[in-house]
Structure 1
Amino acid sequence: MGSKNGSKPATTPANQTDALVQHMRDSMLPGDTPFSPEGMKDAAEYVTATAQQRKFGEIAMRIESVTEGHRYTRIAIVNDDMPFLVDSTANAISALGIAIDRLVHPVVPVDRTKDGSLSQIYEGEPDDAYWESMIYLETARVDAKQRRALEEELQTTLADVRAAVQDWSKLQEQMKADAAAIDDDEGSALLEWLESGMLTQLGHVVRLRDGSQQNALGICRAGEPDLLVDSSFERAFAWFEKADNHRTPLIIKANHISRVHRHVPLDLFIVPRREGKKVTALSVHAGVWTSAALAAPPRAVPILRERVDRIRDRLNFDEGGHAGKALVHAMTTLPHDLLIGFSEEDCERVATTMMALVDRPRPRLSLVEAPLARHLFAFVWLPRDMLATQVRLQIKSLLEDSAAANLLDWSLEVEGGNLAMLRFVLDIRDGAKSPDEALLEQQLQTLLRGWSEAVENELGTMVEGGRAAALAIRFAEHFPTAFRARFGPREAAEDIARLRGLGIHADDAEEDA
């Protein structure tokens, strides 16, 4: 086949490499890690070799570790061009704890023979060529076992990407159909709003009462066939059959992390399908909120806009007054993807807690149990100056110990002012009960406002003041977070007093000897 629109074809591996070098150079941004001419040509040769054989709809991938000179691992992935390839690939690698040192992503015009052999790489940008994604990465060096795990994860991730992209229009049709079918006006408006580009739709499945599934689309026919475990589906059926549960759709978080676009827990929107009053099936939509949706003002988001008005009216806030504006600010700052799944009472409680902290930042905590008793959400506010990795890890341990549950996800939000908000998600599906919020709040205050001071105060009731301060300085910080959360400063002080007593007796014994 000749050149297209005057573009020069590169038909030999050497010429293909030269053409790819130019495409790689053109794809790089000014802030990218500098690439020497020799290094870029070597990378282009590696990608070209990987690209020599690939059929439409398949992936050509190569991973190898370089041991000469600078030790690193390099990856070449050749694929049909489609959305979400680069971010999904980078997320998959980072999720395995592998640092990415370089990423170059040219989209390249090519021709292939019927058997998938690479026959040409075009220079320039011909209008009628077939375009392929060619991703080149350099990472920290990994061993053979890690390479196998990495390749498996990348294959699964890219299969999810392909399935979601291929079924995109069908996913939209399913959400439109469910939006038209439900009676809840705000719920219907929410699905229409999400379908308009506010949700990256990734999967859909219909779950029948007998446990079978139909109409699997996107990731549900690829790497995520089961969005929820059987017990959670049964809880969802029961939830819709309760007379006092009129909210539709039911909005929850999955435990599965999205492999496509954003590495976050999947958002699920569940719509019942009924025969009379009996729920016979659940239509489940899976996706992740877009950045635009998360940043949208609450008055632009169906369901949230209604809640803002009802909470404001119930609390007699003037819309233009300080409290009314503070409520809108809190509802804007709190994560929409969580807030919209809460009950109105929980929304009000969390929002008003945050309102009280904006002008006077201080440590506070609020807990919310998600629908179906699957997740416990903990919102922790603290002054920005208190924020540190060690503090976050201590709070995490405090929550896990108090709830007897494992952490699934966390995020951090720091506003322009002096207030930071940590959000934790804990898995309580195994029946773990929500901890006593008042007690947990007290433990948080002790943790953040001065464990040593609290221990010193308790020691002051057991020994004289100067000795209490010295003992607290010497011993208090050695108590682990789990001990602090479970037993508190009083038990710690008693243990320190016992240690001191043992030391005194040891000194007396030495003198007697």
Structure 2
Amino acid sequence: MKNMMTSLTRAFEARLLEGALPGELEGFGEAERAEAAGFVAETAAVRAAGTPRIALTTFMAGERRRMRLAVVNDDMPFLVDSIASAISAHDIGIHRILHPVIAVSRDAEGKLVAIGAEDAEARRESMVYIEMERGDARTRRDLVAELERMLDQVRDAVHDWRALQTAMAADAAAIPSKEGGKLLRWFHDGAMTLLGHENWTMDGLASDQLGIARYTLDTPILAEASRNAAVEYFRKGGEAPLLLKSNSISTVHRRVPLDIVVVPVVTGSQITGLSIHSGLWTSAALFTAPDEVPVLRERLGRLEQKFGFDPKGHTGKAMAHALTALPHDLTTAFDVESLEQLVLTSMSVADRPRSKLALVKSPLGRHLFAFVWLPRDEIATSRREAVGAMLEEAANAKLINWSIALEDGVVALLRFTLDLRQGGTMPDAAALDDQLERMMRGWVPAVEAALAEQAGAASTRLALRFANNFPATYRTTATPEEAARDILRIATLEGPGDRSARITPGANPGEYRIKLYAQGGALALSDAVPAFENFGFRVIEEVPTQLSGGAFVHDFEVEAAELQGDVATIEEAVAAVLEGTAENDLFNRLIVESGMRPASVILFRAWFRYLRQTGMSYGLATVVDALRRAPKVAAALIEHFDAAHNPARGGDTAAIEAAKRAIDAGLDAVSAIDDDRILRALRGVVMATLRTNAFAPAAKEALAFKLDSAKVPGLPAPLPWREIWVY
């Protein structure tokens, strides 16, 4: 047996490179060829007729560990491209593909007995050898399982090819539409790679399944609801055939959505079911001149006639070129009105290259097709993803596929397919086109335009000063409108110690984004996070951005209870703490959760310090919690103090009495004994205050209170007649 394997390995090694492209042989010396041949020989040693053999293992390629795959099968179409597509679908890079087709002889048990045999018993077998990036154990298991399923589907599609052709020919003969019948015959003659077919009746039963229609796929080729919608389409006079795109991605030949051809089954005068074909337009068919594509050529003629275009004139040729460049698998399915709008848009872009968008809904309303023309130089993954996200949001739909067409010229065509079946809607194409135009402006002009809406005449000056300071990573993730808002905050920073904050709601209740702006250096997380926590925010993540020019933008995602305070007030309070001009303690939670002004928080902070000096045992956190749980009492205490001492109110007696009643009513509602004691102590200090500088400019330096000590409950003896407390 060992001698036999050695002999087979040598024979494989001699044939392994047959038909190999030059690029596949780089770094593939004699030792590597011998090792690969041994791997293929071992895989091919025993194989039952009609069953593929698959082997996948890891190996050392120089200093790197990679994987190698051998697939031995009966020779048939679609093998290499289907295998390579399956590997790519797992995000595994391929480094080498060899595919000799070798005549072999096997005994009754499937054991390999000869290679290169030319006798009558010999059969041609496909030997696929692939080297690729390494995957973990789970990835390897999933890939092998995927290959097994895919190879079964390839085998059935190839085996049933004649029957698939027969079914297509039968439908071509049955269609009343002359052009529709010619389209099906065109598909039959090679314009479509036929992969599956089934007959479906109105009671939901499928029969006569061929090719991939034999399988229950994870995503149905055509869902039951869509089949019923197709019946309604035909009942309302829709022409056959009905061309659709499936949500199911083909595993055979090319990994793209399957093309579906639907023909009604008519018994007497009633539609009783559907004949459903699935496959893929061939590459040649997709690029066939439109005047040679049945149905499409008829629509081209109608458009030329409508607009009076001479087919041999400039405009007529431009229309034909537009139809040639647009994907035939879609344009052949579109109604005349949608096709007209799409073609005219394409012609306009060809004459005047620019960013442009057009939207077309599929015949049954299942899909939205978006055609987006962009400058070739702007085609990048980040740009394509941004456009896709814009479409998903506008249509409330999921993006299921995209493709790109690059021609001569300065624009490229991106095509997006979105699934509208789960509540998706047709967006406003004009509004989306405007949004695309704004997206595609140069960064500085786009930021300047956004600034013009927010800052008016100062927009040009601000854009010239700041717009180019943002790094590339920021520009790919933030909109010009967001940059404009950031610039307006950064422009307020005058020195290295200045800070600014901006708060916006997040995607879910209780989620917020807080942007902090600093000049001259980044903010230390050890400073920012404790400050946020004292305001009641829990930090989830932070993304810092450094601008040229010395500014920093720190983008925080935070969680908090619902903001009760004015957002602008909270922003100013956060900035003051980070600048060091306000204290950083838990009293700041009252600004966020109770809507208290920072000046009022300073009063509570001063009263707390006084009570601690007099011997009150409650700590800061306990006092803050008591005030948070009794916001009406806290507000009434501030109102009483303000009404009694603010010169602008002149000792408003009515307001003072109303505040007293509110305090008493609030205290009656307090159930926790510690909270009651704390609040009554604070009330005592407020009531004992005779004079204060809280409303004078000097309060910015220090707060002073003149107290009638006898009115402060719990003061230890001896009591002073009057007391001055300075904070």
Same-fold status (TM-score > 0.5): yes
Cα pair 1:159 1:223 within 8 Å, conserved: no
2:163 maps to 1:164: no
8 A contact 1:456–1:469 mirrored in 2:
no
Structure 1 residues 479 and 145: alpha-carbon distance in aligned structure 2, compared to 1, 3 A threshold = same
Contact 1:208-1:280 within 8 A present in 2 as well: yes
> Residue 203 of structure 2 aligns to which amino acid in structure 1?
D
Q: Would the aligned equivalents of 2:372 and 2:415 in 1 still touch at CA under 8 Å? A: yes
**Aligned ranges 1:140-179 → 2 under 5 Å:** 140-179=133-172
- Does 1:290 pair with 2:282? yes
Residue 129 (structure 1) shift: 2.1
Cross-structure match for 2:359: 367
Partner of 1:190: 183
Greater RCO (CA < 8 Å, at least 6 residues apart): 1
- CA shift digits 1:343-379 (9 cap, x unpaired): 1111110000010111220011000011111110000
CA–CA distance in 1 between the matches of 2:12 and 2:105? 13
CA drift of 1:142 comes to: 1.1
Residue matched to 1:5: none
Mapping of residues 371-382 of structure 1, within 5 Å: 371-382=363-374
Corresponding residue number in structure 2 for 1:132: 125
1:461 matched to 2:453: no
The 1-side partners of 2:18 and 2:60 are apart by: 29
1:141-176 alpha-carbon deviations (Å, 9 max, x no partner)? 111111100001101111111000000000000000
SS at match of 2:456: coil
CA distance in 2, matches of 1:476, 1:17: 57
Give the alignment of 1:49-448 within 5 angstroms. Answer: 49-66=42-59, 69-122=63-116, 129-222=122-215, 224=217, 226-243=220-237, 245=238, 247-448=239-440
Q: Is the 8 A contact 1:235 1:372 kept in 2?
A: yes
- Report if the CA contact (8 A) 1:455-1:472 is conserved: no
Change (3 A) 1:102 1:88: same
Amino acid corresponding to residue 29 of structure 2 in structure 1: S
Preserved CA contact (<8 Å) 1:11 1:121:
no
Q: CA deviation at 1:219?
A: 0.6
With the length of structure 1 as denominator, give the TM-score of the two structures.
0.91
In the alignment, residue 310 of structure 2 is paired with which amino acid? D
Given residue 320 of structure 1, which amino acid in structure 2 is its aligned partner? K
SS at match of 2:25: coil
Q: Which moved more, 1:16-25 or 1:173-182?
A: 16-25
Structure 2: distance between partners of 1:419 and 1:407: 22
1:6: which partner in 2?
none
After superposition, what is the alpha-carbon deviation per residue over 1:426-476, rounded to whole angstroms, capped at 9, x for unaligned? 111112101111110110000001432322322431756423543545579
- The residue type equivalent to 1:452 in the other structure is V
Alignment check: 8 A CA contact 2:105 2:113 kept: yes
What is the one-letter code of the residue matched to 2:90? L
Superposed CA offset, 1:368-415 (max 9, x none): 011111110000112222322222121111111111211111111111
Unaligned residue ranges in structure 1 (runs of 5+): 1-9
Give the letter aligned to residue 287 of structure 2.
A
Structure 1 pair 464–367 and aligned structure 2 pair: CA distance change class (3 A): closer
Alpha-carbon separation, structure 2, partners of 1:299 and 1:492: 49
CA distance in 2, matches of 1:127, 1:41: 29
| Partner residue, 2:508 | none
Q: Mean Cα displacement is larger for which, 457-466 or 503-512?
A: 503-512
Identical pairs, percent: 43
Query: What displacement does 1:27 show?
Result: 3.1
- Contact 1:109/1:126, CA 8 A, preserved across alignment: no
The gaps in structure 2 that reach 5 residues or longer are: 494-498, 501-571, 582-699, 702-727
TM-score in terms of structure 2 length: 0.65
SS at the partner of 2:16?
Answer: helix
Query: Relative to 1, partners in 2 of residues 1:480 and 1:437: Cα closer, same or farther, differing over 3 Å?
Result: farther
**Is 1:18 matched with 2:13?**
no
Report the Cα distance in structure 2 between the residues aligned to 1:229 and 1:180, rounded to whole angstroms. 26
SS state of the match for residue 12, structure 1? helix
